[in-house]
Amino acid sequence: MQLSRYIDHTLLKAEAQTAQIEKLCAEARENSFFSVCVNTSFVKTCAELLKGSDVKVCCVVGFPLGAMDTASKAFETSTAIANGAQEIDMVIQIGALKDRRLDYVRDDIKAVVDAAKGHTVKVIIETSLLNEEDKILACKAALQAGAHFVKTSTGFGGGGATVEDVKLMKSVVGSQMEVKASGGIKDINTAKAMIEAGATRLGTSSGVALVQGQTVQGGY
């Protein structure tokens, strides 16, 4: 297992500055991470810094609440793709899910999938705010909308990935979609447990420490 190729090297904090984004991209190149994951305003910078490398640029959309309207998410997606993003991590409308407005949830995801024009879309369901039925329904909506991954967490919702959630999500989507575990993955044992549970991508700000076998205190 080449752990580095599972990792979306992540910096999503509101106070992130250009020098930190430059460092993120340099670390991603050096460690052969799968991608960097950033907010929309940094996509163009990352695309320029990573040109000619195998590291992809992933952009979050509707982040971190998922509560903006569908047209706004689609527009943000189009902007990100135009600026060089190759993957999109979007947040579902969690309230709509809990209201059981499942057509809305599905169509909200599909609008992002359409705007991404064939690029990979990962659907963040924010598992810490959901019960088991919610999680199952969210995964089914993402599947119906044609997304490529379901993802556990934003890292900003009061909880992160758990092995149990990854197993549940994988049991729903099967071989039709992949699972990204994110939030709280700060040591090698946790990373391996997520992969063994079915995750094929890990979102973490601790990627460098993970590939060095270190444990990180704090962080995404």
Please identify every residue annotated as catalytic.
89, 151, 180
Of the candidates 153, 92, 102, 146, the one whose C-alpha atom is nearest the C-alpha of residue 121 is: 146
Of the candidates 118, 121, 117, 104, the one whose C-alpha atom is nearest the C-alpha of residue 70 is: 104
Query: Looking at the DSSP assignment, which residues form a beta bridge with residue 122?
Result: 89, 149
Q: What are the structure tokens assigned to 98, written together? A: 């809990």
Residues 169 and 139 sit within 8 Å (Cβ to Cβ): yes
Distance CA 138, CA 4 (A): 28
The answer to whether the Cα torsion of 160, 164, 167, 171 is positive or negative is negative
Rg (CA), the chain: 16
Alpha carbon of 154 to those of 103, 122, 135: distances in Å?
23, 11, 15
Residues 166 and 200 sit within 8 Å (Cβ to Cβ): no
Total Cβ atoms within 10 A of residue 72: 13
Residues 180 and 8 sit within 8 Å (Cβ to Cβ): yes
